Structure 1
Amino acid sequence: MHAQHLNHPLVERSKREALLHAAPMLDRAIQAACGAIEEEQRNARSVSRRLQLGDAHAALLRYAPRVRAEFPQVLMQRIEAALREDTQPDPRRRPSSEDSALALLDDTEVARFVEASRLQQSAMPVIERSLGVLDSLMSSVLGLPVVRAELNPFRPDVYCGALLRVLEDQPEAAEVRALWTRHIGRPFAAELHALYEALIALLEASGVEEARYRLRLTEGSGPGASRGGGRGAELAEGAGGAEGGRSGGGGATGGGFGSGGAGGAGDATAAQGAHRAPVAGSGSARARARAFMPRMDQLSQVRPAVGAAMIREFLYRPQWVEEYDEPLPPGYYDAVDAEMGGLARRPQTAFDAAAHALDREQRRSQGVMERPARPVGVELPLPPDDWGENGSVQARARALMELKAKAKKISQVLGLDAVRALIDQVAGDERMLAPVREAFVALEPALLRMALDHPRFFGDEAHPARLFVEAVAQRSFKYNDEFDPEFEHFMQPVRAAVRELVELPVAAPKDFEERRLALQTGWKARDDGDHDARMQAQNSMQFAQERQTLADRIAWEFSLRSDLVGVPAVVADFLYRDWSLVIAHAQLTNAGARLDPGGYLAVVSDLLWSVNREQAIKQPARLFEVVPGLIKTLRRGLGMLGKEPAETQAFFDALIRYHDPVLRLRRLRSAQDVEASGFARTGDSWDALPVLEEQAAEQPAPRKAEQPWLGRHEREAAGFEDTADELEWAPPAGPMPAEASAGGAADAAVPVLTETVEPAVDGSVQPSPAAPAAASPADLTESELLTRIRAEVARLRVGDWVDLYVHGVWRRAQLSWMSDNGSLFMFVSHGGRAHSMTQRTCEKLMRLRHLHPVDIDPVVERALKRLSEGADSEIEPSASPALV
């Protein structure tokens, strides 16, 4: 395997696909495993067995979020390690080396190896079929001539090893982890099979063909094997006995049924490959190749008449040129001359400037999401003010025909037709604004000249010309309004680069590379202008997440304190949710090396002692001494954190009530002193305080926060004022119930997606004129609708673009940051303006159709896929005699 194949674009895309599926697939497998453990627990006859299964079930639920978060990272590390593995010269030596290595392992490592083998063996019946196909496709991507299953970076042992690693890292007994592994094996195998199917679909859609399996014949397996000898006993990547015969030296060279060693092997695969690999010089093979060739009158036309299947085969199969290419016959040039004569006689398609100006004004008056996509194609004229002569349909057609007249081989003509077909597909991709698509149509002459020298360049993802097209397209996804001055600023250098490339006699790959790099340099300079605002908002969100993570750990440490036993629930909840944040904030912002900056950790002991009625009532003098400093420190810490006084007032009222028994003794003594002095009592201000509820029977436990807490100033810096409902951030007055979730009643209050709504100023719901008119299917239930929306949110990744309706304006924004658990999102629109929201808000906006993810799949790949989809339903051209 060559090093360049490790960085192949398809390998990178497969890795991204695997990373995208990693957390959800493990989440579903854990849920299924929990169900299986519960079922076994119900059927268990032994009490001890039921308790053991119950502990395993509870522990798996407890560590599920942590396992889900760790699995993708561990998996990617193992995939990268698998890609870096050196290929062994002889795969047959692999088992012995593994046996030797196994002998050197200690007992723990042997147990881990055995556990991984069991997990893999339990998965094989489920994944065997899809794994075989994936092994073959991935071997082709890695540039291997034959299938090497042990070099597939997505093989089962990589996934099983990653799963066992994250399970072993959890602080549970080995017996509990063994139960997890036993019950998760089957559902994990089903998820692995689904992933393999997704990877297969991805690779096949990209035109990857399966590598061949190498067959090794043993002695006595047939006359071909006994007499061929040497390498003739192996069938490599040849597609029939003819290829094998050449390697064996003794086999027949025709159909693979000769007496050579490879001839015998070729007999096994002749059915699947004989039509693909005809032998050069064979009359029957040449005739079979002719059956795949288009007629010369098809190749000579302006409009591509070659089928999509032929274009796909031509671009995707490196062997095509060797197998099918040949010089063009004289009759082809006669047909080209006739087509050029007909082109000169056809009426000119003029650009209607008046109609274009009227349409432009009408579109400008429409909302961004209301404008229909303007049609663009290779057979439509372009604005001459922007593109000059290249805007003429006839000029571009003449350029194509002149190049067809210069072509010498069939591959060159197919390359020209492939460029025109793909540019027409890209021009029809309505995800891009019309001026961008017009630029690609205007670029067609330069791409055609490139195709004459490099006919198959559009099939190479790393070719500079294709990279130029893709870079411009991807950058254009930043804009959703062609009348925005920012978009026009983007288009000016793009138009200039296109005009320069078209004006060159022949644009070399380096010319496309230079202009792409120049454009990207300018884009980076503009992005750097928004960098400070974007990073300020992003740093605020990242700090909040780090603070919350540390606070969750501090809260867990609080729960282990012995003096927390018997503490009132409101105090314990305050420590878990509020005071842990104060301590975390102080530690993260402390520039020095102090262990307890601000003394916020030390005050916890005084707080817990002060609410212990039995201890405090025995030492009232200490309470009188402690309380003033305690209250002052608590308020100082909450103020530093940014907590609003109203958020914690209920806690301080309750705290006074818990101090009341000791204070009452002081008041009674003071009252006796007053009466003894002759003054009357003036009342009790504590009587106005709310009555304290009875202490909960169950002590609240710390729970990991679903999303980081943010103060008011932090929310403003992160852009929450645009999207987040303030009620979403108001903390509950008492301890949060364990069953509270990110969904709940808030989702029930959101209107369904069957009509477009926009909250009005007075709080009522009014139809939104700017929202798109598409409605969800009427047969969707509420549960199905919510599931679809949540799945859409779960697919969001950093770098994705969305259309976001903010303050009556549709903004194109990019997902710049998201929390580790996917509960917080920060989008950034033009000017570095941040728009942050919780997962609930994101779901609400999608439901209101105020947030739309933008499909940013590569445009050239999408065009190729459309050709492939057309080829699947297309009938191959029938064999016909060539025009000579």
Structure 2
Amino acid sequence: MAKLLKRMGVADDPTALQPSLNDCIEAMLGHCDTLIIEMLVGLTHASTPGHPRHVRGFQQPGIKAGIDSLNRQGEAVREVFKAELTRLVYEGGGKETVATEALRFEDLKLFEDEQLDASIEVARAQQEVATAVDDVLPAVDALVSTLLGWRTIQPGLNPLRPEVFVRALQHTLSVHLPEVTVREALVAPAAGLLGVNLRKLYRELADWLTSTGVEPAVPLGGRASKGTGAPTQTVADSVAKTLLTLDKLRKLLAGDFDSPKPRQEFLHTVPASMALLQDLKGGSEALIKRLEQRQKPTPAPAAPVDMLAEPPAQPNAPSQRIGQQLGDEVVRLMFDNLAQDQRLLPGFKKQLKAIEPAVQKLAEEDSRFFSDRNHPARQLLDKVTQRSLAFSSETDEGWARFVVTVEKAFKWAAESKVADADTFGELLDTLHKNWSGDDQNLRAKREEAARALLHAEQRNLLAQKLASEFAASLEGLEVADFIADFLKNSWSQVVAEAELSCVDGQADPFGYRALVDDLIWSVQKSTAQRGRARRLVQMIPGLIAKLREGLDRIGYPPELTQRFFDHLITLHKDAVQEGADPEVHAAADSAWSEPSKFGDTKDEQDSLWLDKGEAEESGFVDQEQYFAPEHVASPEAPQEEKEAEGAAPLRVDELRVGSWVELNVGGRWIRAQLTWCSPHGTLFMFTAQVGTAHSMSRRTLDKLRAMGHIKVVADRNVIDEALDQVAQQALKNSLGDKKP
């Protein structure tokens, strides 16, 4: 393979050209033909009898014919691979394609056989390539992360990561090898050959970038992706020989292993017995007694038994045993994954361990636990696990009460002789009742703060529209910049608030919009002078009073408008005196030419403003105060804050309501949940378990992310993630079953 550096033309003077990310991409894409040619050569050798590198299984007619077909279409194969690789690289890696990292437990029941095979096909190919490039890839990730602008290594953002090449290869083979069995037999060997040559390219790419002076990014110190603290691998490596495969897992979700006897249905939202909703603080014994005394169905009378008859056949028994074993394994792996999750506190993990046998017992009889996210047992685990994320330490306020309520509920479930859906539903209702007092108070605070923020967003959106109208009315007129900016910032908020608060439909209830024309006329340089001074004397007192009244009505900070009034009074005084006083006239000229202090209104986020009451009620983070020098992390900042700067990026649009984050407020890290975002996505509110709210604009949220002052702890349910890892393990186990 020709050297990459020589092809780039910088081998003689490595430092003469500092490469860009685009240079790297173009260099790698330039070697697509070489990658495919050498892959085809390797496959041909493997299918040639007597060749030192021949593979016995490749002598089969179908596989050999498939390799011959690829060779005959060599040029077309290269073109398809390059086109697909180019698309994937420039579109971010083809995230829409089914891939191992996107495999979700809940999606398996929807998979067709072809989709299941495609997932296994991609996983095997990725495994082959990953093994080949494992020693050189970290250096490439570090250097490419630097070209992307990151100080820490971000493997998932590398547009040239191995998965992209594998997906391009899979697409190419699917185009030119329509026979599924042939493609499945060849995809892993082809990926292995691709990986060997990709390793050479990676090594040369790393050498080239290093020689040109590109500094590698630094590791994250073992942080999990997205800053979640979740384990990046499943903990089930000890189950190499296992029942757990994707196909069997899909059958379990579909209920194929279920017993043919009918099962009693449960209601998702209505408790089985309202009388059982007792407070566990003092009523756990009564709850136990009532559950155990629940009326059981009367057994049917026994039929007479013929002792000479042959025993009935039980064709479903083996399948049922397999389903039971498989269900046991899924539950065990799920709890093992939860035990390894760093986000869950040790005290809570102890409670999970206590309830595991009860869940195991339930799952043996009711496979809906796996397939139905609304199953009461799943809901119980979901609710308590998500609630536990509110605490980052066992010393946090409210932790002791939370863990006691969970302990009592879980202890009863572990000791109970009854373990069915209704039991778990009743336990969940009891926990909700115990938590309801605190939850109602927190909900009331959140709703009140959300209403204030919603009103603020509506006012700001209307103010932006008014600002555009005011700007249009100023076109062609000689008006000082500070006047224009006052109208587009402060006064647009006043007029917007007045219109929103009007309930009788008046267009301008307080005359604030009509005042705009008078203000503009009073400060124009080109205004006719005859009679102007006399009119100004009559209108200025009322004009100033009306301006102050409007600003006071919305509680606009006086410090933001004091300079405006100082300059306005100077202009009015000079106009009344018709420039007779040299000192006043000079001051007026100075005010006219002074740059505006109200900021640039070109960006909608700059004009976002909350009044004092709205800000206090919602814990609004004012970016001007927050991003002052004393709030910005210094070189002497704590090590955990420095590590936070390397948290994997997450666009604001991907942050969902319900996500838990670590938020740096006033130099102290707190655990909070995104509980509300405005309809137009301009305002976000995070709430801590103790009830304190922290709201901010989109711009502030973006800045916090960039500074490492906000880290995502969990943006999905922890139970769902644990089951997804089970699906990942099933996929790994399926690879062995699919080997040719």
Both proteins in one fold, TM over 0.5: yes
Counterpart in the other structure of 1:550? 462
Residue number in structure 1 paired with 2:638: 768
Q: Which amino acid aligns with 1:716?
A: E
- Corresponding residue to 1:633 among 522, 531, 546: 546
Instruction: Output the amino acid matched with 1:495.
Output: E
Q: Which residue of 1 aligns with 2:478?
A: 566
> 2:250 is matched by which residue type in structure 1?
Y
Give, as a single letter, the amino acid of the residue that structure 2 aligns with 1:692: A
Query: How far did 1:498 drift?
Result: 1.5
Q: Are residues 1:852 and 2:711 paired?
A: yes
Residue 863 in structure 1 maps to residue 722 in structure 2: yes
Residues 365-404 of structure 1 correspond to what in structure 2 (within 5 A)? none
**Distance change in 2, residues 1:452/1:518 (3 Å):** same
What's the counterpart of residue 211 of structure 1?
Answer: 112
* Equivalent-residue separation in structure 2 for 1:319 and 1:824 (angstroms): 40
Change (3 A) 1:608 1:319: closer
| C-alpha spacing 1:199/1:827, structure 2 compared with 1 (3 Å) | farther
Q: Which SS does the other structure have where 2:361 is aligned?
A: helix
DSSP 3-state at the match of 2:468: helix
Counterpart residue identity of residue 493, structure 2 = L
On the 8 A contact 2:385/2:719 being kept in 1, the answer is no
Letter matched to residue 543 of structure 1: H
User: Could you tell me which amino acid in structure 2 is paired with residue 658 of structure 1?
Assistant: L
- Residue 658 (structure 1) shift: 3.5
Distance 1:878 1:795 in 2: 36
User: Shift of residue 768 of structure 1?
Assistant: 3.1
**Deviation readout 1:158-203 (Å, 9 max, x if unpaired):** xxxxxxxxxxxxxxxxxxxxxxxxxxxx999986994633799645
- 1:868-879 counterparts in 2 under 5 A? 868-874=727-733
Cα distance, 1:713–1:460 mapped onto 2, change above 3 Å:
closer
Q: Does 1:598 align with 2:510?
A: yes
Alignment partner, residue 711 of structure 1: 611
Asked whether the equivalents of residues 564 and 572 of structure 1 are also in contact (C-alpha less than 8 Å), the reply is no
Distance in 2 (CA, whole Å) between partners of 1:511 and 1:877 is 40
Q: Match for 1:837 among 696, 712, 719? A: 696
Conservation of the 8 A alpha-carbon contact between 2:467 and 2:489: yes
Structure 1: distance between partners of 2:406 and 2:586: 75
Match of 1:623 among 516, 521, 536: 536
Instruction: Specify the alignment match of 1:466 in structure 2.
Output: 378
Change (3 A) 1:315 1:521: farther
Name the CA shift for 1:563/1:851 in 2 (closer, same or farther; >3 Å).
closer
Residue 317 (structure 1) aligns with: 251
Q: Partner amino acid for 1:718?
A: S
AA aligned to 1:314 is K
What is the match of residue 591 of structure 2?
Answer: 692
What is the CA-CA distance between 1:578 and the residue it aligns to? 1.6
Which residues in structure 2 correspond to 1:182-201 (within 5 Å)?
194=94, 196-197=96-97
Bigger Cα displacement from structure 2, 471-480 vs 700-709: 700-709
- CA shift in 2, pair 1:311/1:431, >3 Å: farther
Q: Tell me the amino acid that sits aligned with residue 485 of structure 2.
A: D
Question: 1:70-108, CA deviations, whole angstroms, 9 ceiling, x for partnerless residues?
Answer: xxxxxxxxxxxxxxxxxxxxxxxxxxxxxxxxxxxxxxx
SS in 1 for 2:712: strand
Quote the residue 2:165 is aligned against. Answer: none
Partner of 2:357: 445
**Counterpart mapping for 1:17-32 below 5 A:** none
Counterpart CA distance in 2 for 1:826 and 1:319 is 37
Give 1:545's aligned amino acid: E
- 1:359-378 Cα deviation digits (max 9, x unpaired): xxxxxxxxxxxxxxxxxxxx
* 2: CA distance, partners of 1:484 / 1:532: 22
Q: Distance in 2 between matches of 1:854 and 1:583?
A: 41
Give the distance between the partners of 2:563 and 2:525, measured in 1 at CA. 20
Distance 1:802 1:842 in 2: 12
- SS of 1:542's equivalent in the other structure is helix
Q: 1:95-130 CA deviation, whole Å, 9 max, x = no partner?
A: xxxxxxxxxxxxxxxxxxxxxxxxxxxxxx99x999
Per-residue deviation, 1:594:
3.1
Other-structure match for 1:511: 423
Between the aligned partners of 1:514 and 1:450, the Cα distance in structure 2 is 14
1:815 equivalent to 2:674? Answer: yes
**2:490 equivalent to 1:578:** yes
Shift of 1:642: 2.0
The partner residue of 2:572 within 643, 659, 668 is: 659
Distance 1:309 1:840, change over 3 A: farther
Quote the offset at 1:616 in angstroms.
4.6
Q: Residues of 2 paired with 1:813 and 1:319: CA distance? A: 34
Give the Cα–Cα distance (whole angstroms) in 1 for the partners of residues 375 and 451 of structure 2.
Answer: 37
TM-score, with structure 1 as normaliser: 0.47
8 A Cα contact 1:304 1:421, kept in partner: no
Q: Structure 1, residues 339-364: CA drift from partner, whole Å, max 9, x if none?
A: xxxxxxxxxxxxxxxxxxxxxxxxxx
Root mean square deviation, CA, Å: 4.8
Asked if the contact 2:257–2:323 (Cα under 8 Å) also holds between the matched residues in 1, the reply is no
Corresponding residue of 1:343: none
Compared CA separation, residues 607 and 706, structure 1 to 2 (3 A): same
1:828 corresponds, among 667, 687, 693, to: 687
> After alignment, is 588-597 or 431-440 more displaced?
588-597
The residue type equivalent to 1:715 in the other structure is A
Q: Per-residue displacement from partner, 1:791-839 (whole Å, max 9, x unpaired)?
A: 4555323221112233564321112333456554322113321223344
Contact 2:605 2:697 in 1 (8 A): no
Mapping of residues 193-592 of structure 1, within 5 Å: 194=94, 196-197=96-97, 202=102, 206-208=107-109, 210-211=111-112, 307=241, 310=244, 312-318=246-252, 409-454=321-366, 457-561=369-473, 565-592=477-504
Alignment of 1:81-92 (within 5 A): none
Q: Could you say if the C-alpha distance between residues 808 and 693 of structure 1 is closer, same or farther in structure 2, counting changes exceeding 3 Å?
A: closer
* SS in structure 1 of the partner of residue 398 of structure 2: helix
When normalised by structure 2's length, the TM-score is 0.56
Is the contact made by 2:348 and 2:403 (CA closer than 8 Å) also made in structure 1? yes
Counterpart-to-counterpart distance in 1, 2:642 and 2:484: 50
Pick closer, same or farther for the CA change 1:320–1:538 going to 2, 3 Å: closer
**Cα distance per residue 1:132-160 (max 9 Å; x no partner):** xxxxxxxxxxxxxxxxxxxxxxxxxxxxx
Q: Which amino acid aligns with 1:859?
A: V
Amino acid at match of 2:656: R
- Matched residue, 2:208: none
Per-residue Cα deviation, 1:196-218 (whole angstroms, up to 9, x for no partner): 337996456643564369xxxxx
Cα 1:538/1:198, change in 2 over 3 Å = farther
Is residue 253–residue 367 contact of structure 2 (8 Å, CA) maintained in 1?
A: no
Give, in angstroms, the shift of residue 657 of structure 1.
4.1
Contact 2:246 2:734 in 1 (8 A): no
Contact 1:719 1:834 in 2 (8 A): yes
Q: Give a deviation string over 1:544-592, Cα, whole Å, max 9, x none.
A: 1111111111122223437863333332222111211111111222344
2:435 partner amino acid: W
Give the match's secondary structure for 2:374: coil
In structure 2, the partner of 1:67 is none
Q: Alignment identity in percent?
A: 30
Number of equivalenced pairs: 487
Contact 2:358 2:419 in 1 (8 A): yes
Unmatched 5+ residue regions in structure 2?
1-79, 115-177, 185-236, 261-283, 285-316
Distance change in 2, residues 1:410/1:436 (3 Å): same
Separation (CA, whole Å) in 1 of partners of 2:256 and 2:87: 46
Shift of 1:663: 1.7
Offset from partner CA, 1:605-635 (integer Å, 9 cap, x none): 2112212334351222212211111111112
Asked whether 1:642 is paired with 2:525, we answer: no
